Amino acid sequence: MKIYNGYKRLPRNYTLMTDEYEFTMANGYYQNGMQNQIAAFDVFFRKVPNNGGYAIMAGLDKVIEYIKDFSFGEQELSYLERKGYGKSFVEYLKNLKFSGDIYAIPDGTPVFPNEPIITVKAPIIEAQIIETAILSMVNGAMEHATGARRIVEATPDDVTIMEFGARRADGCEAAIDASIYGIMAGCDGTSNDIAADMLNMKGLGTQAHSWIESYDTEYDAFLAYAKAYPDNCLLLVDTIDTLRSGVPNAIRVAKEYLVPNGYRLKGIRIDSGDLAYLSKKARKMLDDAGLEDAGICLSNGLTAESIESLIIQGAEFSSLGVGDNISKPEGRMGCVYKEVALKKDGNWIPKIKLSNDVSKTINPDFKKLYRAYDKETGYAIADIMARRIENVSRDKIVIADPANILKHTTITNFKLEKLQKTIFKNGELVYDDPEILEKQKYCNEQMKKIYPEVKRTKMPHEYYVDGTEEYVEFKNVLIDETKKIAKNKI
């Protein structure tokens, strides 16, 4: 079990954290003697939330802990017996551990629709039972990380971003995840003290409006806070009237108490109203009072779009407090877990799910996934899927849209990197999962390799997730063959 500064990453056994149909299928496989049948499943998503151009991979740390501890104890087995499953199947589960392979894109990597972010290769019962837990861990984590990274990309580098979203999250574990993955995606810190302690950081924060309301006057509240925290005095100025009361009282406390005692006002926070207008007026008032070094923190439901708007309007701020749109961002990841191949007589048999909706026809087979980088610019050109048995050229590749082979292009002068890393091999963890701040550094580096047009907040350029020409031709043949077989059996 990985420990975060004394805290377990997963607080309980999640082996039963699955949907009932996973067990009905698992039992069915067992009854039909298929427990040793090796299958491959891909985890992928079909659309980026909020009409964004990219998502951020996250949640692998939790998946690792879940798989390491995957086992059926007495409580889990007793439940399945009460459900009515046979003694033979329950006895089989009693000794079950994960024995397969898992390949995944590392946390912090920018990822795109319809590519395998995690691939599970394992005996089919094992692969089936772990589906729900993996999806729940990855979906939530990626929503937090992607929401946070959108904020980071919209914010100037010299502005501090504080994650404030714990109280908006769907439960305590979700709040911890929002803070941890927010920091992983680039936030500078969090107000959530348990998450801060887990990461061996200090929680960030000042006071709420209730502090001001608890004193006879706003001035009294500010003075009391300044006396308690003279070397870290940041005052919330919008409880009554930001420009007529809050900022003047903050200046008065600075001049009458902080400066005479050898301290400086760290800054003010504005949490309501027209943030652009108020911050510009407040900046002038602070500067005119000789408090040029006092910062301005803005909060109040900030989004990537509103931050960009604030910049365009010339808003003055040195830090941001962002909560809702990291802990509960709009949109959902919608990651799915689909079978793509079965192994029979030593060979992989590709499997495909067809749909009248082209976007829901999966990319079949046990695949390799590469990212191609332009050697001149260093930017990522495309992510490329290929069959495991395929030799991929390093000099020139024809890549095609898996949904439309007519949309193809030839790329040259590129460097290829495999995106998925081996996480588990034969049930053993072989991957050294980095610490969160290492992942933050990695995420920052990876995002620099993504074209700015892909990172745009509005109407981003669509990044290519293609297949080799050979792979797309193979997919089309498989679709035709599958349709013919189905038609002949009707």
Q: Is 483 exposed, middle or buried (0-12, 13-18, 19+ CB in 10 A)?
A: exposed
pLDDT tens, residue by residue, 391-405:
999 999 999 999 988
With 50 as the cut, is the pLDDT of residue 1 above it? no
What is the pLDDT at residue 489? 62
- Residues of the chain within CATH 3.20.140.10 domain(s) are 3-144+331-488
Q: Collapsing DSSP states into helix, strand and coil, what is residue 275?
A: helix
Split at pLDDT 50, 70, 90, the class of 11 is: confident
State how far the alpha carbon of 107 is from the alpha carbons of 64, 438, 439, in Å.
Answer: 12, 10, 7
Pairing of strands 189-190, 160-163: parallel
Cβ-based neighbour number of residue 113 at 10 Å: 17
Query: What is the reported pLDDT for 2?
Result: 64
Helix spans in 303-451 (H): 304-312, 324-327, 436-447
Radius of gyration of the chain (CA): 27
Element (H, E) at 92: helix 87-94
- At 430, which helix (H) or strand (E)? none
For residues 13, 16, 18 and 23, what is the CA-based torsion angle, rounded to 10 degrees? Answer: 150
Residue 486 has pLDDT above 80, yes or no: no
Distance of CA 88 to the CA centre of its chain: 40
Task: Tell the residue number behind the tokens 């049948």, with chain if given.
Answer: 37
Q: Where in the chain is the domain with CATH 3.20.20.70?
A: 206-300
In angstroms, the CA 265 to CA 290 distance is: 11
Dist CA 15 CA 94 (whole Å): 12
| pLDDT surpasses 50 at 411 | yes
CATH of 3-144+331-488 among 3.40.50.920, 3.20.140.10, 3.40.50.850, 3.40.718.10: 3.20.140.10
CB-based contacts of 217, cutoff 8 Å, min separation 6:
none
Alpha helices in 192-303 (DSSP H): 193-198, 209-213, 218-228, 247-253, 275-288
Architecture of domain 206-300: Alpha-Beta Barrel (3.20)
Dihedral of alpha carbons 215, 216, 221, 223, sign:
negative
- Residues 338 and 117 sit within 8 Å (Cβ to Cβ): no
What residues does 343 pair with on adjacent strands? Answer: 348
Which residue in 115, 132, 121, 112 sits closest to 63, CA to CA? 132
Per-residue pLDDT of 285-323, as tens digits, reads 999 999 999 999 999 999 999 999 999 999 999 999 999
Output the average pLDDT for the chain.
95
> Which pLDDT band holds residue 490 (cuts at 50, 70, 90)?
low
pLDDT of 452 above 90: yes
Listed residue (453, 459, 462, 444) closest to 403, CA to CA? 462
Judged on CB neighbours under 10 Å (0-12, 13-18, 19+), 384 is buried
Q: Is 207 exposed, middle or buried (0-12, 13-18, 19+ CB in 10 A)?
A: buried
453, amino acid identity:
E
Q: What torsion, rounded to 10 degrees, do the Cα atoms 82, 88, 91, 96 define?
A: -110
Bridge partners (DSSP) listed for residue 321:
162
483 pLDDT band, cuts 50/70/90, is confident
Question: How far is it, in rounded angstroms, from Cα 328 to Cα 305?
Answer: 16
User: Quick one: 95 exposed, middle or buried, by C-beta within 10 A (0-12, 13-18, 19+)?
Assistant: exposed
Residue 8 Cα to chain centre, angstroms: 20
Residues 62, 70 contacting (CB under 8 angstroms): no
Measured distance CA(298)–CA(277) in Å, rounded: 12
Alpha carbon distance 338, 128 (integer Å):
10
CA geometry: angle 259, 260, 261, nearest 5 deg: 90
pTM: 0.95
